[in-house]
Amino acid sequence: MSKYDLIIFGATGATGGQTISYVDRHASDAGIKWAIAGRSREKLEEVARTFDATPDGIVIADALDSAAVDEMVQQTKAVINLAGPYALYGENVIASCAKNGVSYADLAGETLFVKNMIDKYGKMAEDSGARIIPTSGYEALPFDMGCFLAVARFEQAFGQKPSTVQAVGNFRFSGKYFLPSDGVSGGTWGSGVEMMKADDISGIDDPHILLDGNGDWLPEASKSYNLLRNSKSSQHGLLSPMLPTPWLNPAIIYRSQEIKRTESSETKDSMKEDGLGFHYKEGMDTSGIFPGDKLLKPAVALGAAATMQAAETLLKLPIAAPRKLVGKIMEVIGPAPGDGPKPERLDLWSYSITFHATDSDGNQKTAAVIGVGQPGYKSTADMIGQVGLLLGAEDKRLPQRSGFLTPSTGLGLEVIEDFTKARLIFE
């Protein structure tokens, strides 16, 4: 018998405090007992006081102490891990959850790290029954689940898969002025720093990096990124690459397809098994990021595309020294993990993502996701808090799957209405 249903680990940063606040408001309705965990009791007690939260317990564990992590994991049914960068601090928690059959979710935007964890602990998690769901915040939960909501509608209407799903995102900032701390989260920035500083980043530019197989069933267009393409005029206007990173959502969505396709093959569901998978592409409509930016929109789209393309070129250099130098500079100038905007500025943001599922015959179905709150701090905190409640309660609507999953395959679409409480609306 587990002492707790849910433990929030690494709970003392900006995102951690917001996640604690969300879970505290909804834990009673979910019928779960929950605790917060980290290496400093003093800081954990402080964050609980700051957010007027009353967890059922406090657990002391250092991410780098595998024995302490194991002792923590054995006390619960589910863990939310907010202690990043995950390449530095994530492995022991994942390894313990995979070994002990405990559900797990995090905010990892580090595809190389996720791939490494799949290779090392995927079979262990399947055998133990652990439900491991990385990338369960703004990256990549709304994209993954919104995409497959559009796909489900397309399949229901036309009896086949779409050939392409395009996501178009849009941020809205209602403040009078923009501060650097209002932008990318410290955790996301830290993940980028660790990626730049890594010795080996081969595969970072491969959208198929998270596949277990070779991906030969996916369309040719799915095999590479073309970040400048979206900056050209199309039916959706001038789009920049998806912010803050274009190298995550496609990899997650292709893994989702693989998981579903493997199961379809095993159950002989021919409608879903036959033919290629679909090509997923995405872009950001930059209108609304800066007040009065209509005249700036083409420059912003082109500038972001050129910057991201230059970053990808840097990542692919055979010599690591220039990349590592950039990583050190980023470490100095960027926000630290745990840092964030002032709480009163978190609700100045909202965003929407529209998904267009189409085929070569012109058939189309759409879906949309609308989120409220700064994506990297507030909206992310609320949605991973809701993921934790679902996992901790062992909600019966969750798919019967184990191993390394994605938001859409680990949570399913039956629970999307629950995210309304997290101000994440699926339409």
CB 123 within 8 A of CB 399: no
Q: Which of 4-18, 208-222, 302-316, 404-418 has the lowest mean pLDDT?
A: 302-316
More confident residue, 228 or 355: 355
The pLDDT tens digits of the residues spanning 78-106 come to 999 999 889 999 999 999 999 999 999 99
Tokens 């989702």 found at:
256
pLDDT beyond 70 at 234: no
pLDDT band at 325 (very low <50, low <70, confident <90, very high): confident
Q: What is the pLDDT of residues 327-339, one digit of tens each?
A: 777 777 666 665 6
Higher pLDDT, 274 or 104: 104
- Name residue 9's beta-bridge partners: 37, 81
| 337-394 confidence digits (pLDDT tens) | 656 666 667 778 899 999 999 999 999 999 999 999 988 889 999 999 999 999 999 9
Q: What is the pTM of this model?
A: 0.88
DSSP 233-292: --TT-S-BPPSS-SSSHHHHHHHHHHHHHHHHHHHT-HHHHSS---EEEEEEE-BTTBTT
Q: Where are the beta strands (DSSP E) in 41-139?
A: 57-60, 76-81, 103-106, 131-133
Per-domain boundaries in the chain = 4-134, 141-183+200-319+341-374
The predicted structure's pLDDT at residue 45:
97
Distance CA 269, CA 261 (A): 9
Which CATH number is 4-134 given?
3.40.50.720
Mean pLDDT within 132-144:
96
The mean of the pLDDT values for the chain is 87
From residue 346, how far is each of 146, 173, 186, 293 by CA, in Å? 23, 10, 14, 21
Most confident of 100-104, 192-196, 217-221, 339-343: 100-104
Compute the average pLDDT of residues 295-311: 69
